[in-house]
Amino acid sequence: MRLRGNWGLGRVLLSREEALCTLLGLAVAEKLGMPLFASELGRARRKIGDAFPSVEQRRLAPLRERIFVGQPASAAVRASYGRADAGVTRRLQSAFVELRVVTVGYSREDGHRSVRSVEPHALVINWPAWYLLARDLERGVTRTFRLDRFISVDPENATFTSMAPAMVREVLESSGVAFARV
């Protein structure tokens, strides 16, 4: 069997979350510098993005400004990084997109566990590690949390206004993170 040069997918029905995941996945792959098919990634992302209704396109642009790709993780981080819990990350994903405050259970590297109320402002990828840049509401500080260390995520009713991209960049730069926006 051979594919024609101008073949297409036809009518593919994706949920809003599936389409968003596809677009962001393509954008992240571009920023990670995937060596093969790099130009095709950009074209595919643009075509899928153009298929979104204009109201969804307007929602996607600010979301992309909140996702950053940094340098690969250190050997120590790669060795200790585990698989994040799918249910936990699914709830975090929804809260991240909806700008919703979450109560999280978190386990530090030393095993100390805590419960915090945070605003999930940005995602940072230091491949293969993923981090959440969040405002800790009880402590009044902005810090990063490794996604594989979340024990629980419970969305609250409260919403927040996303940090300005310049402020997110400033926080990341002050912590020594080299990055590019997705």
CA 77 to each of CA 74, 85, 109, 127: distance values in angstroms, whole numbers, following the listed order: 5, 18, 10, 10
Task: Please tell me the pTM assigned to this model.
Answer: 0.80
Please tell me whether the peptide bond between 120 and the residue prior to it is cis, using omega within 30 degrees of 0: no
How far is 96 from 98, CA to CA, in rounded Å?
6
pLDDT in tens, 139-175: 999 999 999 999 999 999 999 999 888 888 888 777 7
Residues of the chain short of pLDDT 70, as ranges, are 1-10, 176-182
Residue spans of the domains in the chain: they are: 16-64, 70-181
